[in-house]
Amino acid sequence: PGPSSVTTWSFEPPQPTVAVICGSGLGLLADGATGKQTFRYQDIPNFPVSTVMGHEGCLVFGTIEDTSCVFMQGHFHLYEGYSLCQVTLPVRIFKLMGVESVLVTNASGGLCPDFKVGDIMIIKDHINLPGFAGQHPLCGPNDERFGIRFPCMSDAYSKDLRRLALDVGSELGCGDFMREGVYCMVSGPNFETIAEARMLQILGCDSVGMSMVPEVTVAKHCGLRVLGLSLITNKVSLDYSREEKVNHEEVLQISKMRAEVLQKLVTMLISRCQQQNINTN
């Protein structure tokens, strides 16, 4: 946003109950909210700043119907050099502000042969590959104020919210390109080799990206409800004869193409959640 739309750090923010974390090229998701107040990350004390194209680096407060929301236009990645404590700091701030549900979005490469570019995958589960190697946001002394030492992750993604996302997607005419699947996080920043992609597919991953899992893990640890939506921006090469080469510009181009649909989906989901008073897993 231009300087005129950026609010200085002097107002009492409304207490959001829903946080939306916007992935690569998806900052437009905040457009469905009214009464917006925007803060640049660089103006928020101790907040990391976005260094990746397609991540505006703004925190936007706004309202969808009667639901007070906060949008992160851009999130943080391990490959930017941030610790997982920094990557997930916003989630704990949201918890302290009174947020109850987090809607996380991202761009990812499709591994499932049925997936097409532009599909929206409702995340039913994830594989935390960096976590297997000790890169885990909950390593270190457990902060009991947020959650327990050994949190359960088998129900990280709310069943109710997943069902609602499918229903709302069908109502909006997106049924043909809505899928469900397993997201795998890799650290990046390089895209996968063909051998790596084949390995991930064998492991049961439907899509792969470089984000989200740390935020979801910390959100689940502190008792937040989570919905994850992954936009399939490219098909991951699984074949040595394929000539196409993925790049970040293509990822952003597909995000731009689907941002409006995703924005409608997210806006309607949030208003439906309120109407249906969804508050269970």
- For 221, list phi and psi in degrees, rounded to 5: -55, -40
32 or 209: whose CB is closer to ligand GUN? 209
CA atoms of 228 and 122, how far apart (whole Å)? 6
Active-site residue list? 24, 55, 77, 79-80, 107, 210-211, 234, 248
The yes or no reply on residue 73 touching ligand R1P (CB under 6 A) is: no
C-alpha closest to that of 67 among 32, 93, 106: 32
The yes or no reply on residue 181 touching ligand R1P (CB under 6 A) is: no
From 123-131, 135-143, 202-210, 262-270, give the range in contact with ligand GUN by CB under 6 A: 202-210
**Using CB under 6 A, which of 102, 156, 200, 251 touches ligand R1P?**
251
What is the nearest approach in angstroms of ligand GUN to the Cβ of residue 230? Answer: 9
The yes or no reply on residue 77 touching ligand R1P (CB under 6 A) is: yes
**Using CB under 6 A, which of 50, 101, 211, 263 touches ligand R1P?**
211
What is the nearest approach in angstroms of ligand R1P to the Cβ of residue 98? Answer: 26
What is the nearest approach in angstroms of ligand R1P to the Cβ of residue 80? Answer: 9
The yes or no reply on residue 23 touching ligand R1P (CB under 6 A) is: yes
What is the nearest approach in angstroms of ligand GUN to the Cβ of residue 253? Answer: 11
Q: Site residues (CB under 6 A) for ligand GUN?
A: 107-109, 186, 188, 191-192, 208-210, 233-234, 236, 246, 251
Q: Site residues (CB under 6 A) for ligand R1P?
A: 23-24, 52, 77, 106-107, 188, 209-211, 248, 251
